Each structure stands twice: as structure tokens, then as C-alpha cells.
Structure 1
Amino acid sequence: MYAIVEIAGQQFKVEKDQKIFVHRLQTEEGGQVEFAKVLLLDKDGEVVVGAPTIEGAKVSAKVISHMRADKVRVFKKKRRKGYRKLNGHRQNLSHIQIEEIFA
């Protein structure tokens, strides 16, 4: 059984006991969070597609930890002009574990 769910503006294909990294959630570490925007649900080969979401379906997850991703360097340069710009960015992430999918 799997579901496609929208979490913090992104869509993820999730299954029970799967661990994923998502954009930072406002829940403390060890807390429970539920996602109600289930877009697709597959129960043993029977696929249910929402329009746009499935009524009554939700996904329950537990926040394992909050962290920051690796640094991404953004470098801009214009040739022969002496223009160089270097920026760095680290995204805030939450590590969550899917506990149950309610249909």
C-alpha cells in the first residue's frame, strides 16, 4: 500500500515505515504530524485518484529530527568583465518516518 501525498508544497510517494526528508515542519522532534492532502492511494492494486484530494484519507508520520542539508554553492561570472559572485545556501529539513496510511 502506498500513497502520493503533498507535504510542505512537494509531492512524495510514501509507504509505511519509510523515512524521508522534507522541508522544515513546525512540529518539535518526536512529535506526531498528519497530512490530509492525499492525492493518490493504492490499496493492493486498487488505485483511487483524488480530485484534487481523497476525502477521509490521511497519512500519519513522526518527526525524527530537524537538520540542515549540505551547502549548495551558487557561482555567477561574466567573462572579461571582472564580475564574480559567490553565494551559499543550506536548506532546513525535517527527517520524518511514515507510521500509517489511513484510507
Structure 2
Amino acid sequence: MTYAIVNIKNKQFKLVQNKYIYVPHISENIGKKILLDQVFLFYKEGVLFLGSPFLEKINVEIEIMQHIKGKKILIFKKKRRKGYKVKNGFRPLFSKIKIISFIEKNIKNLD
């Protein structure tokens, strides 16, 4: 199994080829293909490559499938004995992406 740990919107995600994953909203159009270049770790055929902090010879190609809203998150504030109560909430935006391929440039020289 080949996988990579990448940075998307300052969060780390494990990406496996031909799988779908939900990530924080990416402001691109649906169907657009993007190259991710901030790869922390890459694993292929029993060999593990670690970046410091990123691997420069490996990119990940993804495609944006759809934009959706997540479940509602409630924020409730209260101060005891003061009669102060505030209830707020929001639905975060997510993007569903498909991992297309891992692009390796001269991976044999990655020491």
C-alpha cells in the first residue's frame, strides 16, 4: 500500500491513492485538479521517506469532487448567577477530494 501524509490548510491528512477524503474547504471549482507539494511522509513498497519538513521530490495530485457543509457545531456561553446565556452555532464547510496519483521525481536519489 502506498500512502502519503500531507499538509492541507495546516492540518495533516493521510492520503491513499484512489480514495476519497473530506478536508477543510478548498476555494477551487469542482472538478479542478490540484498538485499538493507539502508532503511530510511518503511510504511505498516497504520504504519510508521522511521530509525535513517537506519532501521536495514528491507531489500528490488531487481532484475536488464536491463542497458540502458538515454537522452543526453549537457554541453555548453562560455566566452563572448573572442571567447571561448565548447560544450560537455554525456548519463548517468541507471539500470532498479524490486522490488521483503520487508524482515522484527521481525518488531513488532521496536520501
Bin for the TM-score computed over the shorter chain: over 0.9
Aligned residue type for 2:3: Y
% same residue: 35
Aligned residue type for 2:30: E
Q: SS in structure 1 opposite 2:55? A: coil
TM-score for the superposition, normalised by structure 1: 0.94
Matches of 2:64 and 2:24, distance apart in 1: 12
**Corresponding residue of 1:74:** 75
Matches of 1:58 and 1:88, distance apart in 2: 37
Aligned residue type for 1:25: I
Per-residue CA deviation, residues 23-65 of structure 1 (Å, 9 max, x unaligned), is: 1112100111110001100011100100111112000111000
Matches of 2:35 and 2:23, distance apart in 1: 14
Per-residue CA deviation, residues 58-100 of structure 1 (Å, 9 max, x unaligned), is: 0011100011111101111122210101111111111101111
Segments of structure 1 that go 5 or more residues without pairing to the other structure are none
TM-score for the superposition, normalised by structure 2: 0.88
Give the root-mean-square deviation of aligned CA atoms.
Answer: 1.0
Matches of 2:62 and 2:53, distance apart in 1: 22
Aligned residue type for 2:73: V
**Corresponding residue of 2:59:** 58
Aligned residue type for 1:94: S
Please identify runs of 4+ aligned residues in structure 1 that moved more than 3 A. Answer: none
Matches of 1:25 and 1:71, distance apart in 2: 19
Segments of structure 2 that go 5 or more residues without pairing to the other structure are 105-111
